Chain A
């Protein structure tokens, strides 16, 4: 029975990893990876590795997600980020049209 659960979770993990690779937005990829870490922790418990499971749950699904989301937000703030984000539009709506003209491939 455990073998089948382990196999099922493994397939689920591969599916989630593929979904993270092919997802359109980086934010959803981060959330999918967080879910993947939780299921990986479950898998580690099933194969009798609770130490690894605790570490995976704490680091993989909590801290990495936090750091990724914050880094994503910070890099969106950078000057090279695309000017289509709603925050920039609201802040500098006058400059938005000009900056799009300056960077034709943006």
Chain B
């Protein structure tokens, strides 16, 4: 029965993919949809100053959506943290009780961690120039923190600092969006900051700053998620060591 359900689901998905192939059911891409993409590609440099069209769309053309996405991520991280508040132990005391992961994990992880953070910061800072942006960069930084936790090093996650950063980044996002009320458009999330020179690091007005806020927010949220899943949030080491 379960296999039949799985096969039916997969069949439906394959049918869905086949239906997307142009010329199969739909004759071609509708003309109205085609012109939207062409319009955005043609006007991105003038409207947003961002070299990466995808970033321009995510931050400026649909900036309010991105605010909603960030909120969804915040709510899910909150849910994980609430669920994890019942945990009383550190995962790695039981999970890796027999061995510590070996030499490669121990030293490779510690060696790789700063480079992964560096790449994450690069991806965040260059979101308007090259592929990437706040979301994948923040995830990379959280993954780097997890790698250090994985090596068994006793990291103390600064939960208070992380929540402070997270809230400040959220406020910063809304504050940068509110700057739009000062500009000519007088609308939320309008790009009023100076655009600068096209294809340079300080260009595209508020887009790099918004993506920096998104990156800080995502990184702190996901670091918290990974941390509370591995270590108990109210982990009292002194109390635990007292008990046999």
Please report A residues at the B interface, Cβ cutoff 8 Å: 10, 14, 17-18, 21-22, 50-51, 53-55, 57-59, 62-63, 66-67, 70-71, 73-74, 77, 87
Contact = CB atoms under 8 A, between A and B. Distances in A.
Contacts of B91: 70, 73-74
B14 interface: yes
Contacts of A17: 10
A54 B10 contact: no
A66 B3 contact: no
Contacts of B181: none
A63 B6 contact: no
Interface residues of B, number: 32
Given A50-B131, A58-B140, A63-B226, 17 more contacts: A10-B17, A14-B10, A21-B10, A22-B3, A22-B6, A51-B55, A54-B131, A55-B135, A58-B139, A62-B139, A62-B143, A63-B222, A67-B226, A67-B229, A71-B229, A74-B84, A87-B94
Task: Name B's interface SS.
Answer: helix
Contacts, number: 63
B87 interface: yes
Interface string B87-123: 1000100110000000000000000000000000001
Contacts of A14: 10, 13-14
Contacts of A66: 143, 146, 226
A59 B140 CA distance: 8
Contacts of B131: 50-51, 53-54
Contact of A63 (B54, B132, B142): B142
A74 B6 contact: no
Contacts of A71: 229
B149 to A, nearest CB: 10
A64 B87 CA distance: 20
Chain A CB within 10 A, most for which of B55, B87, B139: B139
A58 B94 contact: no
Interface of B: 3, 6, 9-10, 13-14, 17, 52, 54-55, 80, 84, 87, 91, 94-95, 123, 131-133, 135-136, 139-140, 142-143, 146, 222, 225-226, 229-230
A62 B140 CA distance: 8
Contacts of B226: 63, 66-67, 70
A8 B136 CA distance: 27
A18 B10 CA distance: 8
B142 A51 contact: no
A74 B231 CA distance: 11
25 contacts: A14-B13, A14-B14, A21-B6, A21-B9, A51-B52, A51-B55, A51-B133, A54-B123, A54-B131, A54-B132, A57-B136, A58-B136, A58-B139, A58-B140, A59-B136, A63-B139, A63-B226, A66-B226, A70-B226, A70-B229, A70-B230, A74-B84, A74-B87, A74-B229, A87-B94
A73 B95 contact: yes
